[in-house]
Structure 1
Amino acid sequence: MSLRPFLAALCLIALPSYADITVGLLTTRADEQTLEDWQPVLNDLSAAIGQPVKGWVSSDRDAMLKKIQNNEIQVARLDNKLALDAVESGKSDVFASLIQSGNLKTYRSVILVPKTSPIQNAEQLLDKPKQLRYASGKTSSTADFYIPQYHLFMKRNILPEQYFKQIIVGTAEQSFVALAKKQVDVAVSNTFDLEQLKEKYPRDFAQMKIVWQSPDFTFDPLVMRRDLPANVKSKISQFFLDYGRTGNNTALARQRLYYADQLAGFSPADNRSLRQVTDLQLFHDLFRLTFNTKLDPKLKSEQEKAYYGRYNQLVTVLGGAK
């Protein structure tokens, strides 16, 4: 008896099923509103690839990563740090990056203070030790944590937790609201989220000013699981890269992109786009290690080697040196 039919059937059983595609949407807004805003785009994706598509929205990065790793999410709109985690886990690859309305392909981290504040720039901000309350981003956020940590604080040999009188941690919206309610004196944000916050809270925004901006940083990526069938991956990638640019309904697609996330479209990208956050992460870890006076020198040396080892592995995973 030939084993060929049996083996063929076994292979079919072993292959993962992709009857449905779930798109994960990392958000700093309300989950239900985000899903409602993105639903028309997801419906168009479903029609383009000929498969049911549903969305899953969360601001919880750990939950999002777990669902990607468990194959509960096949495509995701993430930030750079979470995309790096997804790629490092061996489950996903970057295939596109977001373009903001106005055809902006980069964003900046910013620091906000009330308009009435005497603080005008970074130097004045960092000349008030133990006097200010700071609304920081979560430690997993690229825009609201890693970028300001490096470009604003660590370049000046400052640890925020030693400098500020109080630090609260939250999303860009939570930090914005805390500043508007005078619960803090300084708040982190970024030019991407700030456009949406400006639209949602115009009166509060009018009472704030930006006193620091980071260098430009690559916009958030789209990732896709590596084990998706090649034809499905191709259809999904083509949909996003063409959406709002070609076809018979480009005007409608552009409108849907704007309402989804104030987007203008998507541009091709790959894992190498995550090198920026890899470099930030290494510097951050090494900086904090240097300031750790409680750690035994031998253990500190071993930890430093571990940081560099992981960094070199990530560089390889992301396509090698620049």
Structure 2
Amino acid sequence: MIRKTIASVALAASMLASGFAQADVDFKPLENDPDTIVFGFISTESSANLKAQWQPMIDDMEEALGKKVDAFFAPDYAGIIEGMRFGKVHVGWFGNKSAMEAVDRAGGEVFVQTSKSDGTNGYYSHIITQADNDKLNTLADMLKCDGSLNFGIGDPNSTSGFLVPSYYVFAQNGVDPKDCFKTVRNANHETNLMATANKQVDVAANNSEQLARTNMVKPEITDKVKVIWTSPLIPSDPMVYRKDLSRELKSEIKAFFLGYGRLGNVEEANKVLGGIQDGMGKFMESSNAQLYPIRQLALFKDKLKIQNTEELSADEKAERVAFIDKKLAELDILVSYE
């Protein structure tokens, strides 16, 4: 135990030196706990849809904490990250990639993660096209890269809409989307799904949660699309709060999330959760450690990009790859301690 503790301390110091936590210095510290807690939501779909899904839980949170809780819906993921960075957002629902940015740049800390109502934990990134498009059935069909296709990709801070397809679909195949497609546009999951169904784009990144959610409320939309690629399993979404909230308030917030659907009016709380996304289950305890695989993914993507670029000399490539390999080795040790 002592040896492990010493190793952990040494590793933490090494990580700080290598830059994992360097951006922490940029966030604006809170002077004290807020009178009103602002709960931020990443823009996976329209603000109206998100509000309808989450407001009942926000109301329950307000009652449980004895504090006013306001919802904040930004037009993009960066808006929630920046809101937390400047102390305007105190708790947030993030994807793993945006949570990583919130932890590194906005003073955030993962404290719980979502689950599904059926008990499963995780979701998938997809590439979708029109159901009646008989020319696009596989990833190879899409990656012919003749400049004829219009592609819809997710928000740059989206895990399933951007990071995962950027690595598995494009980086691993040595493809730059800008050189492959006629147009590339960024949008949230709902917008990309609707654009594909309505033939405004030929192919788009999406995820299993959005497809399932839309199938629940508008099955005529999902009937118009088909999946031509599915990613490996992505960890369920994390909830993040400002790490400089008081220990007492953080404990109260965490207790609310972990108790929701388990304590009090269990039936009503589970009904509320079941109406969020494609059917959310109870919240599970988590920490920043759930982001390790996402960090590895981002580093692997950067490594492939460096190796494939012609803008760097061999020595510059070797230096940058060595730096990434060092970070990856540190993450391997951290993962082994989990």
Please indicate, yes or no, whether the TM-score normalized by the shorter chain is above 0.5.
Answer: yes
| AA partner of residue 260 (structure 2) | Y
Query: Which structure 2 residues correspond to residues 1-322 of structure 1 after superposition, within 5 A?
Result: 15-89=31-105, 91-118=107-134, 119-127=136-144, 129-247=146-264, 249-261=265-277, 262-297=279-314, 299-304=316-321, 307=324
| Residue 27 (structure 2) aligns with | none
- 2:141 maps to a residue whose letter is Q
Give CA deviations for 1:289-321 in whole Å, capped at 9, x if unaligned.
Answer: 2232133555545544555566678789x7886
Paired residue type of 1:240: F
Aligned-partner residue type, residue 71 of structure 1: G
State the SS of the aligned residue for 2:200. coil
In the alignment, residue 158 of structure 2 is paired with which amino acid?
A: S
8 Å contact from structure 1 (residues 61, 82) kept in 2: yes
Provide structure 1 residue ranges, at least 5 long, that are not aligned to the other structure. 1-13
**Contact 1:95–1:221, Cα closer than 8 Å, also in 2:** yes
Q: Counterpart of 1:201 in structure 2: which amino acid?
A: K
**Alignment CA distance shift 1:23-1:312 (3 Å):** farther
Aligned pair in 2 of structure 1 residues 64, 320: CA closer, same or farther (>3 Å)?
farther
* Cα offset, 1:37, TM superposition: 2.9
Equivalenced residue count is 307
Please say if residues 28 and 59 of structure 1, whose CA atoms lie closer than 8 Å, have aligned partners that are also in contact. Answer: no
DSSP 3-state at the match of 2:275: helix
Once the 2 structures are TM-superposed, how far is the Cα of residue 83 of structure 1 from its aligned partner?
0.8
**Deviation sequence 1:229-270 (CA, Å, 0-9, x none):** 2121111111111211232x1111112123343312211111
Higher-Rg structure is: 1
Is the 1:100–1:192 Cα contact (8 Å) retained in structure 2? no
Greater share of strand residues, 1 or 2? 1
Cα RMSD over matched residues?
A: 2.5
Shift of 1:54: 1.4
Deviation, structure 1 residue 275 = 1.0
Question: Which whole-Å deviations, capped at 9, do the CAs of 1:132-179 have from their partners, x for residues lacking one?
Answer: 222111222110111112222322332222222332221111211221
- Contact 1:136/1:167 (<8 A) preserved: yes
CA contact (8 A) 1:96 1:221 kept: yes
Structure 1 residues 313 and 90: CA distance shift in structure 2, 3 A: farther
Alpha-carbon deviation of 1:131? 3.5
